[in-house]
Chain A
Amino acid sequence: MIRLTVNGQGRTIEAPPMKRLLDVLREDLHLTGAKEGCGEGECGSCSVLMNGDLVNSCLVPILQTEGAQITTIEGLAIDERLHPIQQCFLSEGGAQCGICTPGMILATYHLLERYPQPTLLQIQEGLSGNLCRCTGYTRIFNAVQQAALAGATG
């Protein structure tokens, strides 16, 4: 029995302690926003926030999340209204196939929490663990800049 908070809701999980957080989110809690890309912490498409820190959920055994606060992409929108970062990704065309997008948005959220007005280098570093094979990144960087200008801090 592992107790944790997912998107503000207390949850109790019964799972083998080595089950990956990603699998628990997708299979047990049916939160399919976090995607499995590489499964080895390289691509960032499984990114979630754990106690406010960006982590690759494919590398977190569920036992280590005991008592933790997990935020997934599903927890970002407030009252069914898109978070400003999501809105900027939409308006700037920062998403194409969408596999990397949940991770990109959470990485942006984590970045803007620390640097509300990031430079391009800070944006590049903040998203360096999130791979996108569609957009070529330029539109994603534009979306992050727009979000920063719109004051979308975490």
Chain B
Amino acid sequence: MRSDATQYDLIAPRSLDAVLQILADSPNRYAPIAGGTELMVAFGAGRLQPKKLVSLWNLSELRFIEERPDAIIIGAGSTFTDLRRNSLIARELPLLSQAASWTGSIANQNRATLGGNIVNASPAADSPPALLAYDATLTLVSTRGTRSMPYRDFHLSYKKTALAEDELLHSITVFCNFNGYIQWIRKVGHFQGRDRRSRPYSRRHHRRHTHWRRQSARNPGTSYCNRAISSQPGRYSCDHRCRTRRNPYRSPSHRRHSQHSEIPRRGCR
């Protein structure tokens, strides 16, 4: 059954300091809510435990992406759309950019925040593997001050984190020293590299009509040729003459299996 909105309170202070003060004054009583893609689901289902919430949505102190000479600092309130549209992240942190594109649908990416994804501590979240691979550092704030900790120490167990009651996740720092590394990421249980429910084709159609683009310096990732159509609306097969070859895989599971054995080859290149 749905929750009764009159039983809940939500406040939206205008600054981070005001939020921290509220958390310090009444520990345990106020729960932070940012984009609401997790807590509002619980609210809708009538199982949201905290009755008092404090909104972090759109606080400018938490929504930023900053470049330092040796690191990239991402505010915890940055949405996945912010991450996807940021050219710095796309260039320097492709794993995170890719993971952001896998997180939920466009509407959810417009609201869900990276900080929320981390603090929610779901084992099914998309962004943590990328951040763990980058060995990111978290900055936590409270009225008592600021502390940093390696992200790998943050998750204690299922849905348990090292965050104190009065603390907020402020930002995520990734130190960029990836010279000599090859970055590669894959999502388990995936079709054609993204979470897509609007999948109208049969597997046979998929094999016949999707093309596989050769890997090259300009195309480091794996992608199907998608310069399809537009000249002939209603026709979905690829009708241009680019130098692609047909999808060599018999099925999605065959593709996944084959790609596993590709990883060491790429690493030795």
**Interface residue B81 (Cβ < 8 Å from any Cβ of A):** yes
Residues of B within 8 A of A15 (CB): 5
Please give the distance in Å from B112's CB to the nearest CB on chain A.
9
Pick the 3 closest A-B CB pairs, nearest first.
A129-B105, A17-B10, A18-B8
Contact across chains for B41 and A121 when beta carbons are under 8 A apart: no
Give Cα A141–Cα B199 distance, bound, in whole angstroms.
11
Give Cα A120–Cα B194 distance, bound, in whole angstroms.
14
Contact across chains for A56 and B233 when beta carbons are under 8 A apart: no
Contact across chains for A107 and B197 when beta carbons are under 8 A apart: no
**Interface residue B200 (Cβ < 8 Å from any Cβ of A):** yes
Contact across chains for A17 and B111 when beta carbons are under 8 A apart: no
Residues of A within 8 A of B40 (CB): 20, 41, 58-61
Contact across chains for A107 and B106 when beta carbons are under 8 A apart: yes
Known: A61-B10, A129-B108. A145 touches B200 (CB 8 A): no
> Which residues of B (12-70) have their CB < 8 Å from a CB of A?
12, 33, 35-37, 40-41, 43-45, 53, 55, 57-58
User: Could you say which of A18, A111, A129 contacts B9, with CB atoms under 8 Å apart?
Assistant: A18
**Interface residue A66 (Cβ < 8 Å from any Cβ of B):** yes
Residues of A within 8 A of B192 (CB): 121
**Interface residue A7 (Cβ < 8 Å from any Cβ of B):** no
Please give the distance in Å from B176's CB to the nearest CB on chain A.
28
User: Could you say which of A39, A55, A126, A148 contacts B111, with CB atoms under 8 Å apart?
Assistant: A55
Q: List residues of chain A with CB under 8 Å of any chain B CB.
A: 15-20, 23, 39-41, 44, 47, 50, 53-56, 58-61, 63-64, 66, 107, 110-111, 117, 119-122, 124-132, 136-138, 140-142, 145-146, 148-149
Contact across chains for B230 and A17 when beta carbons are under 8 A apart: no
Q: Tell me whether chain B's interface is mostly helix, strand or loop, or mixed.
A: loop
**Interface residue B216 (Cβ < 8 Å from any Cβ of A):** no
Contact across chains for A56 and B108 when beta carbons are under 8 A apart: yes
Please give the distance in Å from A18's CB to the nearest CB on chain B.
4
Residues of A within 8 A of B233 (CB): 142, 145-146, 149
7 more contacts with CB within 8 A, not counting A54-B110, A130-B105, A145-B230, are A18-B43, A54-B106, A56-B111, A61-B33, A64-B55, A137-B200, A140-B198
> Can you report 27 residue pairs joining A to B where beta carbons are below 8 Å apart?
A16-B5, A16-B6, A17-B12, A18-B53, A39-B45, A40-B41, A41-B108, A44-B105, A47-B107, A53-B81, A53-B110, A54-B110, A58-B40, A59-B108, A60-B40, A64-B36, A64-B55, A66-B12, A107-B106, A110-B106, A119-B228, A125-B106, A128-B198, A129-B197, A137-B199, A141-B200, A145-B229
Contact across chains for A128 and B41 when beta carbons are under 8 A apart: no
Give Cα A20–Cα B37 distance, bound, in whole angstroms.
12
Residues of A within 8 A of B43 (CB): 18, 20
**Interface residue B11 (Cβ < 8 Å from any Cβ of A):** yes
Give Cα A107–Cα B107 distance, bound, in whole angstroms.
8
Please give the distance in Å from A71's CB to the nearest CB on chain B.
13
